[in-house]
Structure 1
């Protein structure tokens, strides 16, 4: 499962030095994961409202290769890389033109919030198959 999420760096994304403040890459990875699922017919809001499913972060990582500044236009290329019974990993590559400026990943758990406590549950077979598709 893949998706490309375009975005433009805003003034508020930058720090005093005029470059993107690093936590924004994590925010963009989160947004990009939501866009990835939505583009594949699994809107996060619908999963939560209708299925009591969320996918909280278990682990995240990002490495930075070049700075971004106000008004840079970038694309976040996101792809599900690993799928286990209850956990999946999404890789993200940040492109400015043809150059990779950052890359990272998120590990998330397919989690039910139907009970008193959130609990990781098995990813449904049809969703798992969708996640494992390579385009």
Structure 2
């Protein structure tokens, strides 16, 4: 089940040609991740301030299909596509209405910042909630 994050493209998100500057897609994937954890009932601000847990980025990629422009209404659909002991991968799919704009992923580690940063096993109660948002991928081509 995907979690939706919606926003409107701001003028400052665009380049001189009036097209969204590509690094913004990575920022929006990060924002969508924060929305996912809020939806799970574990806002990332609380995870960090109370539990000293964060989910640093290990890898990311985004493929662009068609441009976005100033004042476009955008929805980013975020789903879990991999769930391992300490690491999870999220897909982020961008839409303007029904039009696919871009698709990407972020790979993150469940990390304690109580002392020196250290990847930890994702707690079972978090794992269960992430599983609810896991995309079922077909193994056949």
TM-score w.r.t. length of structure 1: 0.96
Alignment of 1:8-87 (within 5 A): 8-87=8-87
1:122 aligned counterpart, secondary structure = coil
Q: CA RMSD of the aligned region, Å?
A: 1.1
1:92 aligned counterpart, secondary structure = strand
Q: Shift of residue 133 of structure 1?
A: 1.3
Match of 1:130 in 2: 129
Confirm or deny: 8 A CA contact 1:78 1:93 kept in the other structure: yes
Count of paired positions = 134
Q: Return the alpha-carbon distance in structure 1 between the equivalents of residues 63 and 3 of structure 2.
A: 20
Match of 1:120 in 2: 119
Confirm or deny: 8 A CA contact 1:47 1:53 kept in the other structure: yes
Match of 2:7 in 1: 7
Q: Return the alpha-carbon distance in structure 2 between the equivalents of residues 110 and 57 of structure 1.
A: 10
Asked if 1:109 corresponds to 2:109, the answer is: yes
Q: Which runs of 4+ in 1 moved over 4 A?
A: none
Gap regions ≥5 residues in structure 2: 135-141
